[in-house]
Amino acid sequence: MLDEFYIEKLVKKKFPYKSRFFPTGIGDDSAVLNLKDSSLVVSSDSQVQDVHFNLKNFKPNEISSRALAVSVSDICAMGAEPKFFLNSLFIPRSTKKFFINRLFEGFKFSSDEFGVKLIGGNVSLSASLIIDVTVIGQCINNKFKERGKSKLGDIIYVSGKVGDAANGMTLLRKTRIYNKSEKGLISKYIAPKPKIKLGKILGQIDYLTSMIDVTDGLSIDLNRLLSGSSKTLGAFIIWEKIPKTKVNKEFISDKLFSNNVLGGGDDYELLFTVKKENHDDFKKLIERKKLEVSEIGYVASNKGIKLSRGGRTTTLEIKGFTHRF
């Protein structure tokens, strides 16, 4: 069966190009461009109707804001500063001007919030609503963070809380009155916030070895973060250390909660590793800058992810959102 991994492999095989101007090659959160003195990062990501969102749960301005947020997040995952964006709109027949106006209100609001400037785009008729956003960011001091550069023993950190967006999506399917905490989870699903400020701070830390954003699920993205390293590395993570928001078991069972935390996507938190010998420096930095990040485990020598929970260790199934065709 055709899935996105097949396409990713095909792309890497057909386009192995690297150069002084494009030092990292294809396959990270963003492309790094070295043009004269300035390193740029470029990334595109999309939101497709009935794949990433539906028109029942999302207002038009929320769809465009989310499309911008998820692409900006890829720049944050490189530790760079998002600067410019282009938006490609694919619009179904009979779409109303009102809808388009609201879509652009979302772009305007979020571009102001994220500090990115619209510099181009295109528009076409299509069978369903799709927004494809390309974001260009600038590296600060020419520094950036890739995937696959972690070393054995590195400490694994994640920002904010994971599983919130997936739990929010679960709650959204149950139409009822939500309490404040539940509204927060739903909002994280509908209106994710790229970690711009945090990404810029983390991007400057020389002992931070690898970084990615959690888009498809903690386990699948942790696996992506570690694969491609010179050695085949895995991870050991501790359930009790993973930052998460408690939910009402009446609406989300323990099993679903675990799945959402370990394999639910859409959080757009930053997942990264720091060198063990600099762990104390990093802890001081967290304190000083009041960074919202949590240590969840360390990089281990065996491939795969081991999860310790209640004192028992199991091998985690790598799962998360995957496009299949």
Tell which positions 86-105 bind its own copies, by CB under 8 A: 86, 88-97, 100-101, 104-105
Total of residues contacting its own copies (CB under 8 A)? 72
Binders of its own copies among 175-214, rule CB under 8 A? none
Among candidate residues 188, 203, 183, the one with its CA nearest the CA of residue 270: 203
Binders of its own copies among 111-150, rule CB under 8 A? 111, 117-128, 130, 132, 134, 136, 138
Q: By C-beta, is 110 or 159 nearer to its own copies?
A: 110
CB environment 265-288: b (16+ within 10 A), e (fewer): bbbbbbbbbbbeebbeebeebeee
Q: By C-beta, is 4 or 240 nearer to its own copies?
A: 4
The vertex-231 CA angle with 229 and 237, nearest 5°, equals 75
Helices (H), 86-227: 97-114, 164-172, 180-190, 196-203, 218-226
Binders of its own copies among 45-64, rule CB under 8 A? 45-46, 48-52
Q: Does 321 bind its own copies (CB under 8 A)?
A: no
Q: Which stretch binds its own copies (CB under 8 A): 41-49, 273-281, 296-304, 312-320?
A: 41-49
Helices 60-76, 97-114: inter-axial angle, 10-degree rounding: 30
Q: How far is the CB of 214 from its own copies (least distance, A)?
A: 16
Q: Which stretch binds its own copies (CB under 8 A): 43-51, 148-156, 246-254, 268-276?
A: 43-51
Q: How far is the CB of 66 from its own copies (least distance, A)?
A: 14
Q: Does 42 bind its own copies (CB under 8 A)?
A: yes
Binders of its own copies among 10-39, rule CB under 8 A? 10-11, 14-15, 17, 19, 21-22, 26, 30-31, 33, 35-38
Q: How far is the CB of 158 from its own copies (least distance, A)?
A: 23
Q: Does 108 bind its own copies (CB under 8 A)?
A: yes
* d(C-alpha 43, C-alpha 15), whole Å: 16
Q: By C-beta, is 138 or 187 nearer to its own copies?
A: 138
* d(C-alpha 84, C-alpha 135), whole Å: 6
Cβ-based neighbours of 255, under 8 Å, separated by 6 or more:
none
Strand, helix or coil for residue 216: coil
Q: By C-beta, is 125 or 177 nearer to its own copies?
A: 125
Alpha-carbon distance values, 321 to 78, 145, 216 (Å): 21, 24, 5
Q: How far is the CB of 169 from its own copies (least distance, A)?
A: 17
Q: Which stretch binds its own copies (CB under 8 A): 6-14, 202-210, 262-270, 294-302?
A: 6-14
Q: By C-beta, is 134 or 150 nearer to its own copies?
A: 134
Binders of its own copies among 279-298, rule CB under 8 A? none
Q: By C-beta, is 122 or 302 nearer to its own copies?
A: 122
Helices 164-172, 254-263: inter-axial angle, 10-degree rounding: 130
Strand, helix or coil for residue 110: helix
Q: Are 188 and 288 in contact (CB under 8 A)?
A: no
